[in-house]
Structure 1
Amino acid sequence: MAAETIPLTADRFAAAARAAGATAPDSVLAEVGTELISRWSEPQRFYHTGEHLAACLDLVGDEPVVALAVWGHDAVYDPTAADNEERSAVLTGELLAECQVPAPVIEEVLRLVRLTAGHAVAPGDRNGALLADADLAILAAPWPDYVRYVAAVRAEYAHVPDELWRVGRATVLRSLLGLPGLYHRTPELESTARANLHRELASLTPAPPD
């Protein structure tokens, strides 16, 4: 039986911020948590929603610095833009400063947020490995769930014509397949994820003529 998802609340953000050293009043932490939940609930989101946020938080567990990076990693999500990770990092830095999180912690959180642009994790980067594994966990889902994930991402890019979507999506898939490893702390997911990626890529690529 799958573990029950912990509710996504402003208190959950506040707990992570406090554990990471935030010293602002509770009211400030509550306001920031509420703002983040509001951002994750925007109407242009179909996959990058509070459900994805909660799933990632559950996976990183009791790691407050990584949890703050999870809260921030898609805080800005505009499917028409190419700099969401950087804009998310800037916003996250501003919000954590409001929470009076120590500067070295903010620096690490922002490094992690930016890492999600390509999910390339250096050897020994424990925090990066934990975040990347959580963010990419969906790739190893059973095929029907994976198909629903792809459909949700496609809905976010409804403004993109089908042909351009296929080209762009194939580029993303090849980039992921080009990583030395998709998972660092959960390597047992690797084979399923790569099979899913190859299967989707094949569906996007015309078969060669006989």
Structure 2
Amino acid sequence: MPTETRPLSDADAAELAERWHAVLPHQEAMGAALVERYREPWRRYHDVRHLLAVLRQVDALAGDQDLFIVRLAAWFHDAIYDIPFRELTNEEASARLALRELSRAGLEQEDLTQVARLVRMTAEHAPGSRDPEGELLCDADLAVLAGSPDDYAAYVHDVREEYASVPDEEFWAARFEVLEPWIEGEIFRTGKGKALTPAARRNVTEEVTRLAELLGIDPPGRR
């Protein structure tokens, strides 16, 4: 497992500080502590770059959602990311962290509940109907699937490096189980997010086909 923290550029650090200040001014210590969590040395995909990418995608895909809630949930959604999983899932542990920290900051109970709900939702990325905030956060989190072939390959490499302690076949089988439903199923739900579907579908289909070969099973379309 990697033991060195990846560097954070001055520009990215400044952007993160500005984005946090725009959401919760006068809570600089909380924002700085969150950034340090995302800089833990074992993170290779779910790191500070991912945090910044999700925050940017929230803005890019936004419509009429409650952005205050979605942005806070984005900040906390991978705040705890332990490998292997502990007693709680990472999403549940992150949601509880959000509840604890944001309650100290004086947020109202309704907002606390919504932020925690959205953080938990990133475990399955399956928002219900009439949940625009859930749709936006999930789309922002999954936007990496629609990257260029090189960017997608880098994402897959980083995730594999993050889970280096997991044996190959176990890792491939888990990836296959997560990705296969997206070959035909709905990936993005926001109006702007739907435009990302063709690129994401291409990347996912190509990876699932490779995984099927590695696992010695029939590829999609022949099963």
TM-score w.r.t. the length of structure 1 is 0.86
Structure 2 gaps, min length 5 = 1-10, 219-223
Give the partner amino acid of 2:42. Q
Give the partner amino acid of 2:15. P
Inter-partner Cα distance in structure 1 for 2:145 and 2:104: 34
Inter-partner Cα distance in structure 1 for 2:125 and 2:182: 8
Give yes or no for contact 1:181–1:190 (8 Å, CA) kept in 2. Answer: yes
- Once the two structures are superposed, the pairs formed by residues 24-173 of structure 1 within 5 Å of their partners are 26=26, 29-61=27-59, 63-81=67-85, 83-173=89-179
Inter-partner Cα distance in structure 2 for 1:87 and 1:154: 22
Deviation for aligned residue 1:187: 0.6
Inter-partner Cα distance in structure 2 for 1:179 and 1:37: 34
Deviation for aligned residue 1:119: 0.5
Secondary structure of the equivalent of 2:175?
A: helix
Give yes or no for contact 1:166–1:204 (8 Å, CA) kept in 2. Answer: yes
% identical equivalent positions: 38
Change (3 A) 1:181 1:208: closer
Inter-partner Cα distance in structure 2 for 1:199 and 1:49: 25
Give the partner amino acid of 1:12. R
Change (3 A) 1:140 1:183: farther
- Give the alignment's Cα RMSD to 1 decimal: 2.1
Deviation for aligned residue 1:198: 1.0
Give the partner amino acid of 2:202. A
Deviation for aligned residue 1:166: 1.0
Give the partner amino acid of 1:35. A
User: For residues 125-184 of structure 1, what are the alpha-carbon distances to aligned partners after superposition, in whole Å with 9 as ceiling and x for unaligned?
Assistant: 110111111000000011110000000000110001111111111111124446434343
How many residues in Structure 1 have an aligned counterpart in Structure 2? 196
Change (3 A) 1:17 1:178: farther
Inter-partner Cα distance in structure 1 for 2:30 and 2:187: 34
Structure 1 gaps, min length 5 = 19-25
Inter-partner Cα distance in structure 2 for 1:88 and 1:178: 30
